[in-house]
Amino acid sequence: MREGLSENPDLTRGVARDDVLSALLSTIRLSGSLQFCFMPSGNWQTDATPSMAKLSGKAIGTVPFHIVAAGHCWLKMEGQEAALEPGDVLVFPFGTGHQLGSGGDGAIVNPTRQLPPKPWRQIPVIRHGDDTQGVRLLCGYLQCDALSFAPLRRALPKLIHVRTRGANDGDWLRSTIRQMVDEVDMPRAGGISMLPRLTEILFIEILRHQITMAEPQAAGWLAALADAALSRCLSLIHDDPTRDWSLGELSTASGMSRSVLAERFQTILGTSPVRYVREWRLYLASVALATTGQAIAAIAYDAGYATEAAFSRAFSRTYGTPPAAWRAMG
């Protein structure tokens, strides 16, 4: 079997990569979100100062997004510009400051400052201008704790821009966007809770699209997924994270010697196999703390730590807060 993996990497590359993606995507949990509709017309531009993180109360994992439901506008971000059209979806994994606008030298608008106080019975609609055929944007943020998993975070760009209009594989995304618009236009019972779920599904699909369609890279998590032996190794780790993996076991399963596996991990992922196992376990521990009532001692054991104190120290170093405080934040 080891010779087969080594001589025929293409036989297992796709399956192993999909296993890793499935393991990660299945853990994604949005711990918070906010959605509103922004309908500007005429010449306008938004404030470039990031404001979504202030609304969420968290900096790490706060992911602003914009969906162009109707009309055309432009995007400016760190010296880059792009023309936007209906069906475009913009996601900012790190909350990078940016501007949207139409025309030139328009009035500065900050729609988040015009949002009514929560709780909301309906999705807010913020208007600007004379209400003649303008732009329609679905805006907001997602709080995605999966971005605390360092290998994923390092693999994502500052902007994910997906164009669904005319795309052969965009039917599903377009239909989801239409349903989101319908929830705003024709409020129904339960609509205020339906929109966050649709946004979550849209985000996961876009994240999957970004990972699978990204250009080949020389290093990083995406490069590791494209490497037959490394993706097989990562698949084993993600499928059985509580196992006490040794470098020898991983090298045998990957069809490489220990030295070659360690060297390839360091070159492509910038870490060691054992450290990667620890990062994945701690990430799963963060999910368990936020979503279950499992005892911290049991979570520590699943993460491979003999004592709760050792787990607490490792978790605090990685996430900047003790396990109990992380649970309270979730």
Per-residue pLDDT of the chain (330 residues; tens, 9 = 90+): 222 223 333 434 456 667 787 777 777 777 667 889 999 999 999 987 765 555 555 556 788 999 999 999 999 998 889 999 999 999 999 888 899 999 888 889 999 888 998 888 888 899 998 876 789 999 988 888 788 888 888 888 899 999 988 767 667 788 888 888 888 887 777 667 788 888 888 888 888 878 777 777 778 888 888 888 888 889 889 888 888 899 999 998 888 899 999 999 999 998 999 999 999 999 999 989 988 899 999 999 999 999 999 999 999 998 888 999 988 876
Considering the domain architecture, whether residues 41 and 169 belong to the same structural domain is answered as: yes
Q: Is residue 230 part of a domain?
A: yes
Both tokens of 280, joined, read 């994945």
Beta strands 107-109 and 44-46: pairing type?
parallel
DSSP 3-state assignment of 162?
strand
If asked whether residues 223 and 114 sit together in one domain, one would say no
Tokens matching residue 192: 């205020």
Asked if residue 99 is part of any domain, the answer here is: yes
Same domain flag for 165 and 260: no
- Report if residue 46 sits inside a domain: yes
Cis ω for the linkage preceding 119 (within 30 of 0): yes
Nearest C-alpha neighbor of 155 from the set 213, 219, 97, 91: 219
User: Which domain-ending residue is among 173, 188, 213?
Assistant: 213
Give the structural domain span for 190: 28-213
What total number of domains does the chain contain?
A: 2
Report the CATH number at residue 172.
Answer: 2.60.120.10
Residue 125 and residue 34 share a domain:
yes
Do 116 and 159 sit in the same domain of this protein?
yes
Q: How far apart are the first and last CA of the chain?
A: 43
- Do residue 209 and residue 232 come from a single domain? no
Q: What is the pTM of this model?
A: 0.81
Kindly report the number of other CB atoms within 10 A of residue 305's CB atom. Answer: 21
Among 181, 213, 245, where does a domain finish?
Answer: 213
Does residue 11 sit within a domain?
no
Q: Judge if 42 and 176 occupy the same domain.
A: yes
In a shared domain, residues 255 and 158: no
**Of how many residues is the chain composed?**
330
Assess whether 125 and 184 both reside in one domain.
yes
Q: Which amino acid is at 203?
A: F
- Ordered DSSP codes for 23-85: HHHTT--EEEEEEEEEEE-SSEEE--S--HHHHHS-STTEEEEEEEEES-EEEEETTEEEEE-
In a domain, 17, yes or no: no
242 and 98 both lie in a single domain: no
Structural domain contains residue 325: yes
Do both 129 and 276 map to the same domain?
no
Same domain, 255 and 125: no
Residue where a domain terminates, one of 151, 185, 213 = 213
* Among candidate residues 242, 247, 239, the one with its CA nearest the CA of residue 21: 239
* DSSP-assigned letters across all residues of 90-152: EE-TT----EEEESSSPEEE-GGGGPPPSP-SS--EEEESS-SS--EEEEEEEEEGGGGSHHH
